[in-house]
Structure 1
């Protein structure tokens, strides 16, 4: 059974990350994936839209059909896909040398998590990256003053 990294570990992941691939990002501003990607971008991360259906830039960034099409190093792969479609995403994350796969709230796949961890990934399941960012990094900054 998968256990998510603790708060301190998740805070460190978010602190150290610069590039976040958002798998399943929609180009529709009313969609959760768009709102979260936009918030991450405003927080200083460079986002990489990953969705084979996208052809135009999203949030000012070129979209990619798959993780393997991205030429830059990806720190976190943030997943907005149905749970049953996650395994190939985790396989691609391993292939590109990502550090973290972060499955959004409601997204869980035990087998994919085990595969990712066995291949060196840190896996977060069923948690919203935006919520964790708001709570963990803001709280951390308050203590640094």
Structure 2
């Protein structure tokens, strides 16, 4: 383990989480979100793809937004594959559905949204990829 607090948070999330909701999921095998979903599934996580653009991703039913995920499904981590200027709304949705953590992918940075999530008690990782962290 490292003394880097972001790395420590990332590994804590990966150790404790069971269910990831992936916002910006893509059915295209050429998109990064598709590959990350495959990696999460291969590591035994339950994945809920969130996209209004496909009915299935990796054979899994999709939901158009986080609020559409049935309330009896506990979402541990909301993994955001959206531009930084779109991330804040998804972070707010993550807070609303009671997620335990928000993970903003490589290149996705929204400090104000991260502060809101932290203030609401969520763990936050920005500008990192869980698939890369799982490989460390």
Does residue 78 (structure 1) correspond to residue 85 (structure 2)? The answer is: no
Alpha-carbon distance between aligned partners in 1 of 2:6 and 2:102, rounded to the nearest angstrom? 15
Q: RMSD in angstroms over aligned alpha carbons?
A: 1.2
Structure-2-length-normalised TM-score: 0.91
TM alignment of 1:1-12, pairs within 5 A: 5-12=5-12
Alpha-carbon distance between aligned partners in 2 of 1:7 and 1:106, rounded to the nearest angstrom? 16
Residues 112-134 of structure 1 show CA distances to partners (whole Å, capped at 9, x for unaligned) of 11111111111100011111111
Structure-1-length-normalised TM-score: 0.86
Query: Mind listing any 5+ residue stretches in structure 2 that lack a counterpart?
Result: none
Q: Who is 2:67 aligned against?
A: 68
Q: Who is 1:100 aligned against?
A: 101
Q: Who is 1:52 aligned against?
A: 52
Residues 6-54 of structure 1 show CA distances to partners (whole Å, capped at 9, x for unaligned) of 4333222101111000000110011111011111111101110101122
Query: Mind listing any 5+ residue stretches in structure 1 that lack a counterpart?
Result: 136-145
Q: Who is 1:42 aligned against?
A: 42
- Larger gyration radius, structure 1 or structure 2: 1
In the alignment, is the contact (CA less than 8 A) between 1:68 and 1:92 conserved in 2? yes
